[in-house]
């Protein structure tokens, strides 16, 4: 297996740059490999692997292939699959003994009783908007257009013919599998949805027209969205991004964090009404902690650099597993502070060391924020009247869903004009003309404090068979570790 890299689909930022160019050119976004299978009718089966390397252009990769000329000249690494049958990105064997955050096949062993995926609108430009009234107006316009097509084609009974004859202009309707199905069955739409606050991306709130039809996957928060408490939202399996999680009390988007999974603090059960979503068995393990404190423990742990680095391969492939910690009270306290920062981010004061340069009588409207030039991250041009300088480099170290929190604001808070003729203006979100500027200044401070808090987390002291294991001490004592050759792979990943 000769890995040529070039993944532009599931990577971004530094990981994307490492993937390098695609050997088939910019038109291809999928990673490429050369696989050679040898059939020799024997029982001897071996796997050999070579990674072409980081930061290579298409031309450099093609030159490497040309220079190798033959598989005989390639420095292959022999792969020894682990117990999970992973070839590379192999998992830590001790990890399997930890408590699963969620196991849909064995809920009795899970920390959480229920997982609720975020909302997938499927037609963001129509029903997601910074302006609350426009979100309602756009959704109702689409519904009217749909019903007018129902009336126009009411005499057409054949399902396939009805679908073939419908107006597919995206300025008229954004079709989807769900709408196609209803249309083929002659089912009209009703204006039964409601506009609700919606966390579209990290620290980016919008409004969503929410109902079961206009949203391709409306999610199951309905009925508990105002009483669900905190939601521990984290990325789903399969992401190449560094694992990240974010607390929210606002209805989350599926892509708030890559293909995300949500764990609300409370859920509804038929017999009992609103109940805790945390299993009794896990609560008993930490019987001196309250419900909130257990969430803070999880939040602190899942921000630990040591935890994220040690179990990075596992976190990419399944729900997190949680070890029993000897020093769990320390994680609770840091997790509590992180949760307060991330849930109440709009109320955090600006970072005190910033310098804000303004013209006289400035406008606070934003069209598109930007840095003055590539790589000059200490300065953000807010608009033609306002510039923010002296932003510490550390502020960009707080990364969620593969991108610095500050970058999410720069990219999302801009006036967007879509191909369907609709517009989305972030200046319409709040009656406070300074809302976006104040939000940006707050998030810079949130980022600085988050980095400090993450750096203050204690080392992992994992209780195993009544003994605590301090992995940091093991590293410092230079104890034997699994060698690179023993897993048959010597790359960074």
Q: Does a structural domain hold residue 329?
A: no
Which three-class secondary structure state does DSSP give residue 108? helix
* Pairwise CA distance, residues 100 & 344, whole Å: 29
Question: Does an H or E element contain 266, and which?
Answer: strand 266-269
Q: Does a structural domain hold residue 55?
A: yes
**Residue 391 pLDDT:** 97
Q: Does a structural domain hold residue 86?
A: no
Give the up-direction half-sphere exposure of residue 246: CA atoms within 13 A in the CB hemisphere. Answer: 33
CA 136 to each of CA 126, 142, 292, 341: distance values in angstroms, whole numbers, following the listed order: 9, 10, 35, 31
Q: Does a structural domain hold residue 443?
A: yes
Tokens found for residue 28:
């291809």
- pLDDT band for position 271 (50/70/90)? confident
Extract the runs of DSSP E, i.e. beta strands, from 203-244. Answer: 204-210, 231-234
Q: Does a structural domain hold residue 85?
A: no
Q: Which residue has the tokens 């976190």?
A: 315
Phi/psi of residue 308, each to 5°? -65, -35
What are the helix (H) ranges across 168-234? Answer: 177-184
Q: Name 199's bridge partners.
A: 205, 252
Residue 239: CB partners within 8 Å, gap ≥ 6? 10, 258, 259, 316, 402
Task: Specify the DSSP class assigned to residue 466.
Answer: T
Q: Count of domains in the chain?
A: 2
Contact 271, 302 (CB under 8 A): no
**Residue 150 pLDDT:** 93
Q: Does a structural domain hold residue 317?
A: no
Residue 271: CB partners within 8 Å, gap ≥ 6? none
Residue 493 has pLDDT above 50, yes or no: no
Which pTM value belongs to this model?
0.80
**Residue 229 pLDDT:** 82
- Identify how many contiguous H helices and E strands the chain contains and give both numbers: 15, 23
Q: Does a structural domain hold residue 265?
A: no
Question: Does an H or E element contain 148, and which?
Answer: helix 132-152
Domain extent for 368: 346-455
**Residue 205 pLDDT:** 97
Domain end, chosen from 79, 109, 130, is at: 79
State mean pLDDT over 118-138: 94
Q: Does a structural domain hold residue 41?
A: yes
Highest mean pLDDT among 2-11, 126-135, 275-284, 484-493: 126-135
Question: Does an H or E element contain 15, and which?
Answer: helix 13-19
Q: What percent of the chain has pLDDT over 90?
A: 70
């Amino acid at each position: 297996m000769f890995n040529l890299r070039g993944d532009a689909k599931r990577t971004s930022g530094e990981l994307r740059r490492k993937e390098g160019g695609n050997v088939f050119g910019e038109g291809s976004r999928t990673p490429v490999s050369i696989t050679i299978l040898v059939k020799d009718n024997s029982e001897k089966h071996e796997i050999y692997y070579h990674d072409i390397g980081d930061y290579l252009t298409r031309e450099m990769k093609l030159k490497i292939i040309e220079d190798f000329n033959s598989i005989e000249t390639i420095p292959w690494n022999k792969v020894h699959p682990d117990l999970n049958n992973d070839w590379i990105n192999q998992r830590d064997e001790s990890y399997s003994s930890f408590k699963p955050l969620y196991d849909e096949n064995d809920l009795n062993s899970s920390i959480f009783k229920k997982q609720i995926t975020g909302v997938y609108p499927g037609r963001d430009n129509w029903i997601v908007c910074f302006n609350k009234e426009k979100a309602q107006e756009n959704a109702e316009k689409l519904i009217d257009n749909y019903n007018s097509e129902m009336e126009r084609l009411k005499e057409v009974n054949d399902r396939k013919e009805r679908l073939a004859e419908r107006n597919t202009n995206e300025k008229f309707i954004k079709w989807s599998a769900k709408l196609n199905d209803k249309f083929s069955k002659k089912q009209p739409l009703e204006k039964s949805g409601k506009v609700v606050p919606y966390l579209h991306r990290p620290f980016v709130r919008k409004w969503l027209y929410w109902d079961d039809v206009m949203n391709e996957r409306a999610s199951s928060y309905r009925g508990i969205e105002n009483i669900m408490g905190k939601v521990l939202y984290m990325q789903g399996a399969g992401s190449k991004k560094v694992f990240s999680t974010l607390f929210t009390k606002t209805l989350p988007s599926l892509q708030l964090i890559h293909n995300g999974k949500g764990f609300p603090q409370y859920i509804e059960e038929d017999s009992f009404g609103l109940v805790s979503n945390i299993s009794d068995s896990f609560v008993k393990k930490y019987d001196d902690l309250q419900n909130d404190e257990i969430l803070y423990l999880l939040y602190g742990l899942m921000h630990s650099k040591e935890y994220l680095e040690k179990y990075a391969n596992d976190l990419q492939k399944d729900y997190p597993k949680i070890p029993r910690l000897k020093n769990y009270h320390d994680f609770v306290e840091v997790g509590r502070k992180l949760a307060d920062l991330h849930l109440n981010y709009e109320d955090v004061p600006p970072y005190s060391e910033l310098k804000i340069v303004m013209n006289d009588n400035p406008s606070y409207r934003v069209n598109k924020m930007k840095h003055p030039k590539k790589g000059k991250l200490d300065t953000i041009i807010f608009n033609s009247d306002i510039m923010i300088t002296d932003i510490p480099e550390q502020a960009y170290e707080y990364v969620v869903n593969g991108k610095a929190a500050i970058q999410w604001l720069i990219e999302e808070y801009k006036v967007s004009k879509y191909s369907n003729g609709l517009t989305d203006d972030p200046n319409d979100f709040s009656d406070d003309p300074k809302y976006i500027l104040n939000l940006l200044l707050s998030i810079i401070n949130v980022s600085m404090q988050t980095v400090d808090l993450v750096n203050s987390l204690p080392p992992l002291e994992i209780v195993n068979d009544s003994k605590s294991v301090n992995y940091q001490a093991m590293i410092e004592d230079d104890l034997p570790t699994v060698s690179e050759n023993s897993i048959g792979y010597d790359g960074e990943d």
